[in-house]
Amino acid sequence: MSDAAAARRKPTQARALERVERILAAASDLIAETGSDAVKMTEVAERAGVPIGSLYQYFPDKAAILQTLAERIAERVRGGIAESLAGVETRNDALARMDRLLEDYYALFLTEPVVRDIWSGTQSDKKLQELDITDSRANARVVAEALKHLVPRKERARFETVCFLTMQLTGAAVRLAIAVDRKEGDRLMAEYRRLLRGEVGGFLSG
Amino acid sequence: MSDAAAARRKPTQARALERVERILAAASDLIAETGSDAVKMTEVAERAGVPIGSLYQYFPDKAAILQTLAERIAERVRGGIAESLAGVETRNDALARMDRLLEDYYALFLTEPVVRDIWSGTQSDKKLQELDITDSRANARVVAEALKHLVPRKERARFETVCFLTMQLTGAAVRLAIAVDRKEGDRLMAEYRRLLRGEVGGFLSG
DNA sequence: TCACAAATATGAGGATTATTCATCTTTTTC
DNA sequence: GAAAAAGATGAATAATCCTCATATTTGTGA
């Protein structure tokens, strides 16, 4: 049922800001230890050294804490994409950098339990699913922008659509790869890399 | 925490079998009406016309009901794949049938609220995620088997891996397509169809 | 047909957790 | 330095899942 969760105070004082960070850090640690489903609000409060009421001062519900963590991860990833694709010049250069990005993204999921937990079961709630899609759109725009001078003018609109689709497919590929054993995961990622090169490479000239 | 949910009785008497069906039908209806998260066990019991205890006689927990519904959908889909690809002869024939399958799969998600609900947020729980992967493997085997005479002998092992990956990517593409508005969804599916033809077509000769 | 075992049915109540809110304290503002 | 705004607190409430002791029905062998 839940109507839109009630809006909460946005912290302005230094004390409150620090508190919010402590809450997020505690949540992050606990997620890494036990998985987000198993994390209890009382545990987060205890670990953060704040009373339970403080969580609800700044987060309307448990999901909101996860969403905030998810957003931060997403921003970090987007930054990495922008950085990695900056100043790309040739088609081969673009493809090599994409390989690298894919590798890094896979590694991120392999090594960071919180990323794995939060984005593994993407769509456990509506808001996270929306965030995932919004985020893919934003990433697609970044990629399309960085590569647009390599894409024929008349293909550019389609190219952004393809990038958008590709972001989602990449998420699916990585989630699959980390869900199976490492060896098979590597093999699947190798196939996906090939697929991606073919798909994106098809648009690039130069 | 939850240890493996305790095993439950498997119904053998006609009365019990019918009850289980009533429970599943009630759950399915309610999911279609309100989404699985909002469905309460007491509501399922009431709608099915059985006391709450009966749900737990045959299902260890709420998730198990969803899983059973998910399995049935998955079987139905697998049957459709096998049927659609039976007796395929040429490369073009294979590609045309794949287009058709993709179309049907998209339509299934567009029109059936229960499919949409259960498989939209795949991975809301571990068991469903495992089921999804197991199921993709099984579908991949069906596809690889149906098309194997069109695939060069030495590529066949890789081809099954690609099919497996493809099943997951297809799920992601369809979930994305139904999450955005219809027009954009159609456009994304068109791009995905092209991608799929390229990827699978690359393996097929004849 | 009867007695006994196995399966099935029942629903009040226990258990777990997320979340609220009335009240108190600290910080900011003017 | 007083009023207003922001922040802090945690016992109590609320929402649900799920259990279990007990009662009933069905199957089975003699």
The answer on A82 and A47 residing in a single domain is no
The answer on B191 and B111 residing in a single domain is yes
The answer on A117 and A30 residing in a single domain is no
Q: What is the mean pLDDT of chain B?
A: 94
Q: Evaluate if residue B106 carries a pLDDT over 90.
A: yes
Residue A3 lies in a domain: no
- What is the CA B132 to C1' D25 distance in angstroms? 39
Question: Does an H or E element contain A62, and which?
Answer: helix A62-85
Query: CB contact, 8 Å: A137 with chain B?
Result: no
CB proximity A41–strand D (7 Å threshold): no
**How many structural domains compose chain B?**
2
The answer on B87 and B24 residing in a single domain is no
The answer on A112 and A170 residing in a single domain is yes
Q: Which of B122, B161, B169 sits opposite A169 (nearest CB)?
A: B169
| Residues of chain B found within 8 Å of residue A173, distances taken between Cβ atoms | 165, 168-169
Average pLDDT (B163-184) is 98
pLDDT digits (tens, 9 = 90+) for B131-169: 999 999 999 999 999 999 999 999 999 999 999 999 999
The answer on B43 and B21 residing in a single domain is yes
Of B31, B120, B70, the closest CA to residue A125 belongs to B120
Q: Evaluate if residue A34 carries a pLDDT over 70.
A: yes
Structure confidence at residue B3 (pLDDT) = 42
pTM (2 d.p.): 0.94
| Residues of chain B found within 8 Å of residue A169, distances taken between Cβ atoms | 169, 172-173
Average pLDDT (B42-61) is 97
Residue B36 lies in a domain: yes
- What is the CA B5 to C1' D27 distance in angstroms? 29
Q: Evaluate if residue B100 carries a pLDDT over 70.
A: yes
The answer on A170 and A108 residing in a single domain is yes
Q: Give the distance, in angstroms, between the CA of residue B8 and the centroid of all CA atoms in the same chain.
A: 24
Structure confidence at residue A6 (pLDDT) = 72
The answer on A86 and A126 residing in a single domain is yes
Is-contact B189 A181, C-beta < 8 A? no
Of A200, A132, A105, the closest CA to residue A160 belongs to A200
The answer on A97 and A34 residing in a single domain is no
Residue type at position B98: M
- On the CB side of B152, CA atoms within 13 Å amount to 7
Residue B114 lies in a domain: yes
The answer on B40 and B119 residing in a single domain is no
Q: Evaluate if residue B196 carries a pLDDT over 80.
A: yes
Is-contact B47 B29, C-beta < 8 A? yes
Domain that residue B52 falls in: 14-60
Residue A5 lies in a domain: no
The answer on A168 and A77 residing in a single domain is yes
